[in-house]
Amino acid sequence: MDFILNPWPWYVSGFLIAVLMFLLLLSGKRFGMSSNLRTFCSMCGGGKASDFFNYNWKQDSWNLFVVIGAVLGGFVAAQYLSANSIPDISESTKLALQDLNISDKNSYLPAELFSMEALSSVKTWVILISGGFLIGFGARYAGGCTSGHAISGLSNLQLPSLIAVIGFFIGGLVMVHLLFPLIF
């Protein structure tokens, strides 16, 4: 039971991702979460508003199960397969959170950011809406999201995916080390 309740080693998870990518390559399919938005919008009649959504969405409907599986898998893992209810975070992270007036009581889900009370703030709504817009715009502009480029694109040895992944990494560093302290 410990094998299921604890995080898997990188070599097990990495191997399983490689097998999945190999099977997708053999079947001629591409993996990516943001492409599901296009599929969903096409299913709902988005082609009436934009030609971008005029395509045979049924060929990509298999990928919607990836989203459903990710949501259900995350729920099952968090509710039933977690050995510790609250994972440990490093002392340096706790100190950095304290400097930003963010508690470390809920570990990865501090109440200052992830609670109903946080949604009562205009600042929180501005951050959520602008962040969502930037993520959506970035995924569309880059031709895919982080999972699509980092897993699928790099597996196909695509140079644009390598450039996108480097950009995602740099953007994450800028956000964490420069913007996050300014916002909070």
Q: Is residue 59 part of a domain?
A: yes
Q: Is residue 78 part of a domain?
A: yes
Of the CA atoms within 13 Å of residue 7, those in its CB half-sphere come to 7
Q: Is residue 51 part of a domain?
A: yes
Is 24:62 a contact under the CB 8 Å cutoff?
no
Q: Is 2 exposed, middle or buried (0-12, 13-18, 19+ CB in 10 A)?
A: exposed
Is 104:97 a contact under the CB 8 Å cutoff?
yes
Q: Is residue 89 part of a domain?
A: no
Q: Is residue 183 part of a domain?
A: no
Question: Residue 32: which domain range?
Answer: 1-83
What is the chain's Cα-based Rg?
19
The confidence score (pLDDT) of residue 129 equals: 92
Q: Is residue 176 part of a domain?
A: no
Structural domain tally of the chain? Answer: 1
Per-residue pLDDT of the chain (184 residues; tens, 9 = 90+): 677 777 778 898 889 888 988 888 888 887 778 888 888 889 999 889 988 888 888 888 888 888 899 899 888 887 887 666 566 778 888 888 888 888 877 767 788 878 888 888 898 899 889 988 888 888 878 888 887 888 878 878 889 889 989 998 998 899 888 988 888 7
